Chains A and B, each alone.
Chain A
Amino acid sequence: MIVNEQVAVDHGLKKDEYAKICELLKRTPNITELGIFSAMWNEHCSYKSSRLHLKKLPTKGKKVIQGPGENAGVIDIEDNDAIVFKIESHNHPSFIEPYQGAATGVGGIMRDVFTMGARPIANLNSIHFGSPQNKKTKNLLRGVVHGIGGYGNCMGVPTIAGQTSFDSSYNGNILVNAMTLGLVKKDKIFYSKAAGLNKPVIYVGSKTGRDGIHGASMASASFDEKIEEKKPTVQVGDPFTEKLLLEACLELMAGDSIIAIQDMGAAGLTSSSIEMASKGNLGIEINLNKVPCRETKMTPYEIMLSESQERMLIVLENGKEEQAKKIFDKWNLDFAVIGKTTKSKKIELYFDDEKVADIPVNTLVENSPMYDRKWKKAKLPKKNKIKKEDLKHLKIIDVLKKILANPNVCSKEWIWQQYDHTVMGDTIQKPGGDSGVVRVHGTDKAVAASVDSSAIYCWAHPLTGGKQVVCESFRNLISVGAKPIAITNCLNFGSPENEENMGEFVECVQGIGEASEYLKFPVVSGNVSFYNQTKEEGIKPTPAIGGVGLIKNYQNMITMDFKEVDNIVLVIGKTEGHIDQSLFARNILDEKNGPPPEVNLFNEKNNGETLLKLIDNNLIKSAHDVSLGGIITAVSKMCIKGKKGINIKKPKYLINEIEYFFAEDQGRYIIEINKKDFKKVADILHKNAVHFDELGTINVNELYINDKTKVTIDELLTSNKSWLTNYMSK
């Protein structure tokens, strides 16, 4: 095939990018080489629109062993233990083919983690769908949930937490972000940097097929009416093979024969070989005839661009081939020496005794395009003046029931019951709490993880929204008694070529950066997904934050269910009555304008750290952070989980009940304490200048408000639990 500008454009490259390729190579690339450039230079692999801004994120900290740039981030959890974790998007393929798209998203992120030598110990996910009324939503949700379960369950890794939301902005572009945590010994972490000359380059895992060709390019473009045609670009997952690959890799890793290892994810053999060569400042020579293929007559172009799953590339020590092969034979996996490292600093590919590609590595990596895209700064919207008359006719209980049944607040049990969340026998906090918690096997330690996003806040004001998501992650970890350590981020946005979308990206990243810097909660890994857009319509900006924290003694973990009648319930943090962009304003008042709640980083840090002090002093019986739906929604969930009621009284300092109960001010938690501990708790809160309200006392089974209105917890449970089950069974 003759390569020209049009062929390059069909590969998703811009005209000037093609010109640059010709200039770098000092010739016209052949079709295989063009394919390789298009795979490496697309948005998904090159981060060409985001690199400039991602550099500003804080990535270092005392507990950070490895920040961004490797397969996943690594943090220290003491005693020579480390946690490897990352979140990644699989948005585009999941919309085209929900089951396989979601399944391979889960498979891909687990590979990123075990590539580094870690055994995966927990999965999480953040999934976002269009409006429930949209005719595609139900099938997409079902397909994605089955896909996530299908892969994770078979791997035997518990799915311990997640987040699901519905918003019409995802009608044409759903989001599927998968996160995995793995456990590794600090001195047994593996990296992707190749080293040494003439070292054998090994291919292991599944055979290469024609699936997923151009997957990364597809994920770097907006959708139009022809998306159905893109089905062949979606990869097909085989969790069974991945389970074997996991066990085989960990068995090989127990020895000392691996120099570098890299999984074949987006852009398959192309990106894995180039990344290893680039990091090691070496060249790699590959004989493509040696690559195990599933189909006949595959061309070099197809072999290099296939995104077949469950494959790894390894640079081995000389002479260790036989020993390594034995392990892969035992697990019935392909093992092939396909090439070697060279000093050429080039990627040289041979096929049928002919050289089919010859590209200097730096042209693909360092010289890849980087854009300083134009972006528009967002203005902070004006506050709405909510008329008191509008609130007068509202009955708190009715509003509460509606909010508890709102698709974004309701119980997601229908989803997480389909995920095996107890395999491995260490899950001590299941989905449905503030964070999922797993024990570090055989120790007293436990690791907490949560995943959060707040697209509404980010859309209303990206800078504030970016900060808010990080703070929410911080709070969710603290609520279970974990000390927050670090985060991973999955940045889901519309087209970077649109100034407003790009502005949302830049300012969300700035917000994330400011909050993570202040809270000492650095970003250690992540992924950017642009072009979540159909024609001109992009999604609401949706950065998802995955947070990880440590509980030193798992016996001290906190859960959100109310524990005991007569215990006292307090609200930590001040309630100012911020209603704009709250679930209440948007869904009950139908008011969609206004700024999101303000984020005060000092209060976030101070309130959170003080709560951890209370937990350390064994003063907290249950805790839950206040988020969507405000105080009363948070309290109701604690009642439902604990099968207890509460008498609550609104403190006198705010005039309006509705504002107090439904406001979404930040930095707040609900805590349950024993009566006899009240003075101790109050002293600690006062001493640390943390505002608190006395909210009420736990009773047997009813929610009483200001001694006049009441509802049984069973009724609240029904409101909260039935929406999703009913929706999916209709």
Chain B
Amino acid sequence: MSEAVADLLLAVDGVTVDYSGFKALDGFSLTLNRGDRRVVIGPNGAGKSTLCDTIIGRVRPSEGRVIFRGEEIQALPEQAIVARGICRKFQAPGVLPTLSVRDNLALAARRDRRWWKALGTGIPPAERAAVDEALETVGLTARADVPAGTLAHGEKQWLEIAMVLATRAELILLDEPTAGMGPAETSRTADLIHSLGPHRTVLVIDHDMSFVEQLGAPVTVMHQGRFLKQGSIAEVRADAQVAAVYLGHAA
């Protein structure tokens, strides 16, 4: 018991999010242990993005709690949640367009984010190494000095993944990280997630079943803001209820 609690990183506990009557999340719960990889799937409107929104503080639940490292975080401002070690990659690439690729990463890699610490020029040496490494990881070293707004869509996705990693967050939320990527880039993304090591916990939302398979992580299926099923990909695939939800949606 105590071991399980020590390993528990995130608990989403009975969370409801109400958009003027429409319940995007309806008493949803989920737990992640340290080092877990988890994939969340579900048809459109299942509440996957709202789940990320709730964890990161972009929307406030009307009921329920979000507990990270034993602390309730659902009422904290976004930047305070990020400071506690959660970072999210958004569905639409959210890079800062007028800043260079390197500066985007430098902002993400900064350890001390208080405003008066920004009264200085350049990137401190300790952070420079992290920035260079991140550039290397996502293959953007040659493009380091162009404004991020001029990158191609796939490159922006990679840059944002690199930014999320550079924050050193323990819990990483990836909202459709492979959207707009080809098969080769998709498997590179899967490799990157595999290479992260046990000190990172990753929650991925994606539609792309081949990517989900490559990740090989346990899958949670959501439907209409509720928990539907959890299991391996094979189990989920074989599940009649899951199939009905997807088919019902398609029909």
Q: Do A and B come from one complex?
A: no
